[in-house]
Amino acid sequence: MRLKSAIWVAAYIRRCHIEGAFAAVRRRGAEEAGTIFVKLNRLDGTAELFGPAPQSVFDHARPADRLFSRCLDEQPAPESKIEERLARELRFDPDAWILEVEDRGGRHFLDQVLA
């Protein structure tokens, strides 16, 4: 059984803080199963965006843990490009969560990142 989005978000933000990075919820999504996007702000005008991994990467069964993949091929990308992508995602899924992590070293703290 997968953790509720709100619980996963709280644990992720706590982990970022423990590791010495700033993290915050920019937009609160659906409590139970909202899609989660993580913007990694490198504090130099560039950022990276991570979102749910596409279902095509799963073998046969859906994994219990959340899997993430990079949303843009160009990584890191200008922040404006990341914000445009987030706006498109929110038009498609208004229940999505947006988290922002600030780390000059580019650490995202996501255990399950594919591609």
| Domain 5-114 classification at class level | alpha beta
- Cα–Cα distance measured from residue 102 to residue 22, given in angstroms and rounded to the nearest whole number: 5
Query: How far is residue 15 CA from its own chain's centroid?
Result: 14
Q: Reply yes or no: is the peptide bond before residue 76 cis, omega within 30 of 0.
A: yes
The dihedral built from the CA positions of residue 49, 52, 56 and 57, taken in this order, carries a sign that is positive
pLDDT at 61 over 70: no
H or E element: which one contains 4? none
pLDDT at 73 (0 to 100): 82
pLDDT at 75 (0 to 100): 78
pLDDT band at 54 (very low <50, low <70, confident <90, very high): confident
- Cα–Cα distance measured from residue 67 to residue 83, given in angstroms and rounded to the nearest whole number: 22
- The stretch 32-59 carries a mean pLDDT of 87
- The stretch 4-9 carries a mean pLDDT of 93
pLDDT at 36 over 90: yes
Domain ranges for the chain, please list them: 5-114
